[in-house]
Chains A and B, each alone.
Chain A
């Protein structure tokens, strides 16, 4: 019982990170139908930039905000420099461009920063919290809380605000969006900035637990992608549920079987779900999109 609770707590923590990555996927996918495989690099940049600006002497909150802002600019640059010039190309080509961009960003990070693993202090100390015999580090609560807050904010943005609807409209029909007066170029800029900011936030929150290095993005992008597929690509609710489910699956497999199998079991379950429900748990084949 204690063990089960322990596995679930760590599963939810990891799952919250996957959910944040998946939420980042969701925004860009909603605006452009592109799956941005550089999403994991945003997480890495969020962590790395915070580490280095913090080591340079900035207070931690300021370093974190700076990291998120710079990563947003990287996201905007990715859109302007790599994707916008290829506008009109098939979606598959655009996705390959994002894979290229992720390799480029990783290489640049290795040069600008280094190849070591880094961390900075937890926000609320490292004294474990005891819950019914299981323990949780306080930073886990930051990660989980961050994922939930970002989810609620995005859900409100897409369902309650006209700007959010404009993003959905741009994805659905760019021509019609322009005809109703939406600046679709600006919508794309906004989507990339937002998506990169969420990725960077994930990096800031999780670095004290998992550490950060120039190459942590690849694995996170794959896991986040799997989570988004499991929940239904394009749906914030799907991203959250998909992320947490994936984290739980991994933690329970690692706990009860072997940590060697955790990736395999997670992917088998995802394949099984997609086989039965090709659109994912909250996919848009059902009439509702958000």
Chain B
């Protein structure tokens, strides 16, 4: 579904991705784990087109995506729930969800919104409130729900557990896992390596802009190097 080859990207003259190769197959949950500043967020922004790529190629569902402008990538089926949530803080919860389906005007929009409310009932309760007033966990739910409103084939999720209480984190991971049943392929970026590897099929380990290890999630969890570096066991 998604193939990345030799991807390089820089901020100004400082290169932070030094040739990343990665693949996500249809129906998979794939996770990229790595420490602070490894380049995970940069990778996702390259995939979404909101960060320039200096070399390499991105293929998605058979098409080359590398030079497609950011706002056209959701049309191709690639959505992102970005780091820091990035909800529309001045707009209501419902307006945020409606804008998630900006590309669509058919009657499915309303159905998808009801689905989102079923997935996160608290959002239904707060649908008319300004999104900036939501708690961190609720904002994260809104960010995921908004991304799903765009009817993606593949969802890029950047640190959905960041700064949230353990109970909420568990709830969010549960929802992510449930997306499998909706035919949404997932690329999940996390510092919470244990939580991510537990729900993932495969994983990649990223260190200072490069992939240093990859394999089935179960194997990575069992790997002594990973246990020491990322799981704190």
Interface residues of A, Cβ cutoff 8 Å to B: 162, 165-166, 168-169, 172-173, 175-184, 284, 287-289
| B-chain residues with CB within 8 Å of residue A287 when the two chains form the complex | 129-130, 133
Name the one of A168, A172, A183 contacting B71, with C-beta atoms under 8 angstroms. A183
| A-chain residues with CB within 8 Å of residue B71 when the two chains form the complex | 178, 181-184
A165, A172, A180, A288 pick with most chain B CB within 10 angstroms? A180
A169, A181, A184, A289 pick with most chain B CB within 10 angstroms? A181
Contact, CB under 8 Å: B102 / A176: no
| B-chain residues with CB within 8 Å of residue A284 when the two chains form the complex | 90
- Assembly CA distance A162 to B133 (angstroms): 22
- Assembly CA distance A284 to B90 (angstroms): 9
| A-chain residues with CB within 8 Å of residue B75 when the two chains form the complex | 181
Number of interface residues of B (CB under 8 A): 32
A interface majority secondary structure: helix
| B-chain residues with CB within 8 Å of residue A289 when the two chains form the complex | 90-91
Contact, CB under 8 Å: A180 / B105: no
| A-chain residues with CB within 8 Å of residue B69 when the two chains form the complex | 183
A and B contact pairs by CB, cutoff 8 A, 20 listed: A162-B98, A162-B99, A165-B91, A165-B99, A168-B88, A168-B90, A172-B88, A173-B86, A173-B87, A177-B88, A177-B99, A178-B48, A179-B86, A180-B99, A180-B150, A181-B72, A181-B150, A183-B71, A287-B129, A287-B130
Against A, the Cβ 8 Å flags (1 = close, 0 = not) of B169-211 are 0000000000000000000000000000000000000000000
Contact, CB under 8 Å: A179 / B74: yes
Contact, CB under 8 Å: B74 / A181: yes
Q: Give residues of chain B (67-94) contacting chain A, Cβ–Cβ below 8 Å.
A: 69-72, 74-75, 79-80, 82, 86-91
A192 to chain B, nearest CB (A): 18
Q: Which 9 A-B pairs have the closest CB atoms?
A: A181-B74, A176-B86, A178-B70, A289-B90, A287-B130, A172-B88, A183-B71, A181-B103, A172-B90
A173 to chain B, nearest CB (A): 5
| A-chain residues with CB within 8 Å of residue B26 when the two chains form the complex | none
| A-chain residues with CB within 8 Å of residue B149 when the two chains form the complex | 180
| A-chain residues with CB within 8 Å of residue B90 when the two chains form the complex | 168, 172, 284, 289
